[in-house]
Amino acid sequence: MFALISRRLLQLVPTVIIVSMMIFGLQQLLPGDPATIMAGEERDPEVIEQIRKQYRLDQPIPLQYVYWIKGVVSGDLGESMRLKEPVSRLVAQKLPVTLQLATMAMLIAILIGVPAGIISAVKKGTAWDYLVNVISLWGISTPNFWLGILMIFLFSVHLGWLPASGYVSPFEDPWQSLKTTIMPAFVLGNSIAGVLMRHTRAAMLQALSSDYVRTARAKGLGEKRVILAHAMRNALTPVITLGALEFGTLLSGAVLTEQIFTIPGFGKLIVDAVFNRDYAVVQGVVLVTSATYIILNLLADIGYILVNPRLRA
Where are the chain's structural domains?
97-266
35-49, 187-201, 206-220, 251-265 — most confident range: 187-201
Print the SS3 string covering 188-215: HHHHHHHHHHHHHHHHHHHHHCCHHHHH
> How far apart are the C-alpha atoms of 87 and 255, rounded to whole Å?
19
Higher pLDDT, 229 or 309: 229
CATH superfamily name and code, 97-266: MetI-like (1.10.3720.10)
> How far apart are the C-alpha atoms of 45 and 36, rounded to whole Å?
9
Q: What is the pLDDT of residue 46?
A: 72
Give residues with Cβ within 8 angstroms of 186, minimum separation 6.
Answer: 105, 108, 151
> What is the value of pTM for the model shown?
0.77
In the predicted model, is pLDDT for residue 169 greater than 70? yes
Q: What is the pLDDT of residue 42?
A: 63
Tens-place pLDDT, residues 120-137: 888 888 888 888 888 888
Determine what percent of the chain is predicted with pLDDT higher than 90: 0
Once rounded to an integer, what is the mean pLDDT over residues 177-186? 88
Q: Of the ranges 15-24, 106-115, 179-188, which one carries the lowest mean pLDDT score?
A: 15-24
Once rounded to an integer, what is the mean pLDDT over residues 14-40? 72
Element (H, E) at 254: none
Once rounded to an integer, what is the mean pLDDT over residues 238-250? 79
